[in-house]
A and B are shown apart, each in its own frame.
Chain A
């Protein structure tokens, strides 16, 4: 059991990384970013050459000519800086492109979901954390890690080659350190992984405690458990800190190894070159160094392991991106998530023909729930009739409406719309209009809000719709009339006015089925009566399904269903 879960975790990880790599591959400019980092290595070589040249001129007794070499060194240093700045910019631009693409995919998958996700489930929260935070985690991987990885495979070889030109023995010494370096890094990596594994379970449980107790503050206060929970938090926090230090002890070993080999290179080269210059080497070597070459090699020695150090600094970005990619990939593959199917507008007169709706023994149960939201419901609605679904909150009224749009799972039973079975992915979204408690408002003018679903509607149709739903006085009252600006919260509009806007949208969109979700909630008596009268007036020729708890609204209906107690 444990091995299969381990194997599936591995395959999940590799899917995640493959997903990320695929997203990153298509981005132009990653090669440029890596090239800039490699160029940095070349400028470092120039810098070392400049310093070495200047010193050999001084040693040769011609200090004045050292100035040109120093100028070369300074120029290379400045170019290094410019190169680093450019690399950062290019890296950020590439990362931006990748992130935009990933975000688009996540949002499309989320918005295009079909059934299975309960209405109250926090799609908003999941979407926020996925589309913003998890996508952000990918930034360092693309901007820093990928170019650093490519540079780390090229730059050391270039440095080695240049060193070999100046002193083959030194190049040999540098290359010699490579094998023990790899071995020690592997060992350090394994020790670190083992320690991480050991602490993982406990850390996973305890680290979330702080944020959990913060969110649970209301209930902690209500049960007067502040003292107890503070003590529990104190113990848990200390334990987390101690365990994390254990992990860090092992994790910092890899960076210590890197640091050691970097310093070792310098020391080896310095001692060898010094002894060679003194002529005091205990064994015969085929080369005789001079100050210029020896100093050049010394100044270059730190650059051999510098790309690895840059890579190690970016390694944390890789692990963070890996975890994020796993989650993004899992979300895209989860049930229900889908790229939105292009909605084919139904042709011609079919749109305006109000359909019959028949439910046969319909049961709806969300995945993971113990009980059905709706069970064995049957009714039949003729064309142009109005259905009222009554029942207390939580009894499934909204679920039935969402079922018709493909946003709730049909666990058993059948739904017929005009003698064709309901399309479980999109339902009747193409020919339906939704009037809910909180109609969508967007930043823009009243006109753009009204025309949101039907941008091609003629001005006459717009005025007609406004007249019929009774929005005339509202528009006359606002400065600017139809072109008055509204923000996303729809401020300045009352609840009743916003629902009338939704009604107008329903009129403008060629729709034959209207789904109304508690349209008179939160309205005072007078507004409720007025809205009910309006609905009665404009519903002609359409099949309506209204979910409500208001008996007065239900009085409009031809068929009434009561959910909850009677099931």
Chain B
């Protein structure tokens, strides 16, 4: 039963098929060369000792060219094969996952916003990225199985020269190692899960205490907080030690199997004489050594299967999401809200939404922009109910400035082009001027192409907000939806921004819905919707 992730990997892995075959071939060659190098060397020495002891004539007749050439070839082949396997294997994995990432992003964009946002906000995004990396590592180690198989076959074949018994024993030991490895892998997966849970609990505990920092300071509870963290820390430590102990057992298995293969191989080939016994023993030992990379890959596989499950779920959810209804903009973008007693906002109106923090103003804004699911009857745009209509059409009605600005990593230009891809420089400077940011951008070293870092780190808080405002201005949606546009601005800049905003609204005829607490901005609006606690409760009860 292949899951969505496996199907995706098979599809995007097609262009890499040749490289994958190359990597597998290198792995197989590595296995064979490892066995051949030591096996033939052992035989060579033992045979040479026999010939040397038998006298100068026997020594002279000894064919040393072939074995010594084989030994030298084995050494070179082993080195080259190892380099080739690692490079090609990693290349396949990297290129495959490079294609998976954008497809995963597209899947997240397609699925229901509530689900998508729960896995991409804050810490959850880091988990998703780690999951993708775990799958990448698993792919890179795919060829280890080929190497193990080739080494085992080479070992069994060489041991067979000494008799069927050593060959059989080698095969049995290899099989036992394989089974033992799998059993241990199951155990290591469960300790890895416990480890993850303990890590999560410690993180929750830390987050919770960090949020209460002021109270801790006030009541001199920092020592107490440190002690509770130390407790959670020790629980994590215990989980880690248990996991490390299980991983240590893989080494025990490997060492025991090597010893067993070598000693039993020699013992079973006792009757065949020293050279063949040497061949059998060393070939068997190297066959087990050749299985080591596969065993290591098994040991660290635990995280990857969980990651695969999560990604599977996500991809399947995206596949089953119904395609968006045909997107056509509503004729008249009027908005009707059932909250506030069924208010109706006509196009071009300026509306201020006020109220204490946390009452649901931002929730309303996010619902309008289609980031939250909504029950029928709560809101309708252009006569069409929000819950029933097309999300794309709904989003086309609004140019949004989020409360946390939400800039993307990149340059000024990258951020502005998020709103409109084909915008020309003149327009960009015009919206920057309207947002009172043009002078600041001119002072940046590369102007519009200055790298701003993560979340616009190079700019101050107020400058980030103005950049997000300029971005909203670039969209030609019928409604400007601004969430706290002037927080962090000094009075002079704020006045400039608001004047430019008014001029712009007069010019474009856009409507304005603004969440704010600034009296000066509220004064410039036609009407005010006031949120109170009861509003939030009624809105919450109506939301899906």
Contact = CB atoms under 8 A, between A and B. Distances in A.
A490 to B, nearest CB: 11
Interface stretch (B106-114, B142-150, B305-313, B427-435): B106-114
A58 B109 contact: no
A429 B213 CA distance: 12
B277 A58 contact: yes
Given A78-B255, A217-B117, A524-B534, A433 B218 contact: yes
Given A237-B101, A402-B214, 18 more contacts: A55-B266, A77-B258, A81-B253, A95-B240, A100-B234, A215-B120, A221-B395, A222-B369, A230-B106, A237-B98, A248-B90, A256-B83, A273-B48, A370-B460, A433-B218, A440-B215, A515-B218, A521-B358
Interface string A200-235: 000001001111111111111111111011110110
B211 A278 contact: no
Interface string B498-529: 00000000000000000001111000000000
Interface stretch (A156-164, A258-266, A553-561): A258-266
A393 B357 contact: yes
Interface string A59-95: 1000100110011011011101110111111011101
Nearest to B129: A211
A2 to B, nearest CB: 15
A529 interface: no
B62 A237 contact: no
A271 B71 CA distance: 8
B68 interface: yes
A58 B202 contact: no
Contacts, number: 436
B473 interface: no
A18 interface: no
A263 B37 contact: yes
A74 to B, nearest CB: 5
A219 B233 contact: no
A270 interface: yes
Contacts of A84: 248, 251-252, 255
Contacts of A123: 210, 213
B122 A125 contact: yes
Given A89-B241, A211-B129, A132 B214 contact: no
A209 B411 CA distance: 12
Contacts of A228: 417-418, 421
B278 interface: yes
Contacts of B117: 217-218
A44 B146 CA distance: 27
Contacts of B46: 55, 59, 291, 295
Given A58-B274, A234-B102, A263-B79, A85 B222 contact: no
Interface in A264-281: 264, 266-267, 269-271, 273-275, 277-280
Tell me what chain B mostly uses at the interface: helix, strand, loop, or mixed. helix
B256 A369 contact: no
Max count, chain A CB within 10 A of own CB: residue among B91, B248, B359 = B248
A88 B108 contact: no
B374 to A, nearest CB: 15
A173 interface: no
A226 B116 contact: no
Contact of A280 (B64, B106, B215, B471): B64
B370 interface: yes
B223 interface: yes
B56 A70 contact: no
B519 to A, nearest CB: 6
B116 A77 contact: no
Given A92-B244, A277-B45, A111 B216 contact: yes
Interface in B402-420: 402, 406-409, 417-419
Contacts of B252: 81-82, 84-85
Contacts of B489: 371
A381 interface: no
B478 to A, nearest CB: 14
21 contacts: A78-B255, A81-B254, A87-B248, A131-B229, A139-B240, A205-B409, A211-B129, A214-B108, A218-B366, A220-B418, A222-B371, A270-B68, A277-B45, A277-B48, A278-B51, A370-B461, A370-B462, A370-B488, A434-B218, A452-B219, A565-B518
A403 B113 CA distance: 40
A77 B230 contact: no
**Looking at chain A, what size class is its interface with the partner chain?**
35 or more
Given A77-B260, A80-B255, A524-B533, A429 B220 contact: yes
A563 B472 CA distance: 29
A438 B211 contact: yes
A222 B237 contact: no
A99 interface: yes
B271 interface: yes
Given A47-B259, A78-B255, A100-B234, A110 B356 contact: no
Interface string A424-465: 001001101110101110100000000011000000000000
B106 A226 contact: yes
Contacts of A71: 263
A549 interface: yes
Contacts of B41: 266-267, 269-270, 298
Interface in A490-516: 505, 509, 515
Contacts of A125: 122-123
B105 A405 contact: no
Contacts of B125: 211, 214-215
Candidate in B262, B395, B398 with the most chain A CB atoms within 10 angstroms: B262
B94 interface: yes
Nearest to A205: B451
Given A84-B252, A110-B210, A436-B215, A217 B409 contact: no
Interface in A118-139: 123-125, 127-128, 131-132, 136, 139
Contact of B42 (A240, A295, A439): A295
Contact of A298 (B45, B273, B277): B45
A340 interface: yes
B221 A127 contact: no
